[in-house]
Structure 1
């Protein structure tokens, strides 16, 4: 496997932070605002965003990886096809409190040459995650804030190795989001990432042929991969410009593979800053 960058779930947070900064108002706030004050979101919009990030290489790693990126983005708010701050995928069902979709996300990997704990081992390749996600809106408040429970189940595949399957993840997440006034918007989440044995072995297993004096052989177990607390603060600076920052803490305390020799510290912090610009928007309105 080849590739450089971050663990799959880590990269998802970066892209999610960028998308969260885009768009004039969260959907919950639109639904609760008076009709004459509701902004009309475009069906699609395109632009670019820049990021400066420092991330833990993988949960349990004692090294950071820094990146500066400039990437295009596309938001599409159709009835079935959706690519917005909530992710990309196909919406199968939507009711007042529940929504079911088929989502996908992509992620860069980690180069073993840059991570001391994994030197002499395969790189963590570029991963693609695909699967169903149930969203349950627990509460909506008059100020536009809301509580939501997300239940995504994803099959993980390695893009740099012919889409070989690497395992399955389940990440129940409790989210709170809402406007803070003066163009600011906050999105926070608390989640537990659970993985099957195959994916756990990809990140934490050590084959006998890879063992060293300081890195004994280890067979990974299915179960809790990491606890995660994340937050994003977005600021709408004008019609087209948005700034955003995010931070996330991962903890492998009590995780199924906390005893792996590849786990070098219990807790790690990732953070980033970004700026986005909306270049073009559709004249057609979005489909809620």
Structure 2
């Protein structure tokens, strides 16, 4: 492998790691205090079972130990869900950047046999959060509406970035670190629906004339409803600097505009993950911003 290929392989691994981290946004280091360090640095060991894509009946298992850095600024914040800018906020409304993605799907997917691999997908765009009871409560209920542009990142012939469509989402999210405070347990729930355009659906579910076979018919995707998800996390604070968390999500695409694609093999997908967080060092300066629980 020459220097260029080694460089591209490293980039691909780094990007894949970042995508996997997105599935653990809720599993953050926790504290019982009412204020938080401005920044903290630690180690994060996570494992997850993730479907190749929504509707696939095949999964990959990822297990990675990673360093993490969290910064809780008033305008710029950085955590395990990436770097985001806070454009406007008060006690009830916050506007920021929403980030998501999907790992690459190589040639080991049976439904896509003899079809091109799917590159890693990265989604980002604006989001608005409405906190029903105010964002500074220990039990937090809010509605988030997001619009994300999706781009694929390929590395076969150098860095290749292609726009792949739009995703809209509406999520109702509840976080609570007060109810089981006496046993140092934090939990959160998330229920949401997605809507995607034909281009993004086509990236995953289209079957062109050149890829039709005796078991895979032609398919051209439409825009519209793309399914719903229900997820939850539990986090146990073991010590001041150590916490253990678990994550579970159900994705359902029954009634989605692409559910009849021959590449859809399962209407329900279950994502399972766990993570151990160890905070190594933190700043002396404190802040009341607790962005880590907004997963």
For the structure 1 residues 54 and 105, does the alpha-carbon distance in structure 2 shift closer, same or farther, using more than 3 Å as the test? closer
**For 2:25, what is the secondary structure of its paired residue?**
helix
Corresponding residue for residue 31 of structure 2:
24
Q: For 1:195-234, what aligned pairs fall within 5 Å after superposition?
A: 195-234=196-235
Contact 2:139 2:175 in 1 (8 A): yes
CA–CA distance in structure 1, aligned partners of residues 102 and 44 of structure 2: 17
Shift of 1:73: 1.2
Superposed CA deviations along residues 122-153 of structure 1, whole A, max 9, x for unmatched, are 22212222211100001359982121101111
Equivalence for 2:4: none
TM-score normalized by the length of structure 2: 0.84
In structure 2, the residue corresponding to 1:120 is in which secondary structure?
A: coil
1:36-69 CA distance string (max 9 Å, x none): xx53201111111111211222111111211111
2-structure distance, mates of 1:53, 1:86: 16
In the TM superposition, 1:5-154 aligns within 5 A as 11=20, 14-17=23-26, 20-25=27-32, 38-84=33-79, 88-105=83-100, 107-111=102-106, 113-139=107-133, 144-154=138-148
Local SS of the residue matching 2:204: helix
Q: Specify whether residues 108 and 22 from structure 1 end up closer, same or farther in structure 2 by C-alpha distance, changes over 3 A only.
A: same
186-195 or 156-165, which deviates more: 156-165
Match of 2:269 in 1: 268
Match of 1:30 in 2: none
> Does the 8 Å contact 1:132/1:152 carry over to 2?
yes
Structure 1: state its 5+ residue gaps: 26-37
Q: Corresponding residue for 2:292?
A: none
Q: Distance in 1 between matches of 2:82 and 2:176?
A: 18
Q: 5+ unaligned residues in a row in structure 2: which ranges?
A: 1-8, 290-295
CA distance in 1, matches of 2:212, 2:205: 12
Cα displacement (A) at 1:108: 2.4
Give 1:226-245 correspondences, 5 Å limit.
Answer: 226-245=227-246
Distance 1:261 1:78 in 2: 47
Cα-Cα RMSD: 2.6
* Equivalent position of 1:31 in the other structure: none
The whole-number CA distance in structure 2 between the counterparts of 1:222 and 1:243 is 39
Match of 1:178 in 2: 176
CA deviation profile, 1:78-135 (whole Å, cap 9, x unmatched): 1111123675311100011000113444542222x22111122222212222211100
